[in-house]
Amino acid sequence: MDNGKLGDQIHQNHEELKLHVDHLFKKFKLIQARVEELLTNPAFVADAGIHQQAPCESNIATCTFRKPDGSNVEETVAGNSSFKHNEAKSSAI
């Protein structure tokens, strides 16, 4: 393959890759919006078993996540002084 054809192929591959990345980014934004919607739904949050056991001042929150089989998994999340309960909820998804 000569340099001209190789350059054209690289340019075409780059353009295709940009389209794929743009498509994935748009899907990510849709998923992100749905997650935010779910996390603001009290019924979903309660059903998912997401709760905070330690006060925010301690910079540690323990969240319990319900698996599809009904068992629970706990995750402890450490944060800085600006740690918010929503950050703990976000890690559930």
Q: Tell me what pLDDT residue 85 has.
A: 45
Separation CA 59–CA 48 (nearest Å): 22
Per the structure, how many domains does the chain have? Answer: 2
Q: In this structure, are 93 and 57 located in the same domain? A: yes
80 pLDDT above the threshold of 60: no
Q: Tell me the per-residue pLDDT of 1-13, one tens digit each, with 9 for 90 and over.
A: 688 899 899 999 9
Q: Tell me what pLDDT residue 4 has.
A: 85
Q: Tell me the per-residue pLDDT of 28-77, one tens digit each, with 9 for 90 and over.
A: 999 988 888 877 877 777 666 665 444 444 555 566 666 677 777 666 65
Query: Is the alpha carbon torsion for 93, 39, 87, 57 positive or negative?
Result: negative
Q: Tell me what pLDDT residue 66 has.
A: 67
Pairing state between β 60-66 and 72-78 = antiparallel
21 pLDDT above the threshold of 50: yes
Q: Tell me what pLDDT residue 90 has.
A: 45
Q: In this structure, are 25 and 52 located in the same domain? A: no
Q: In this structure, are 50 and 88 located in the same domain? A: yes
Q: Tell me what pLDDT residue 43 has.
A: 74
Q: In this structure, are 76 and 33 located in the same domain? A: no
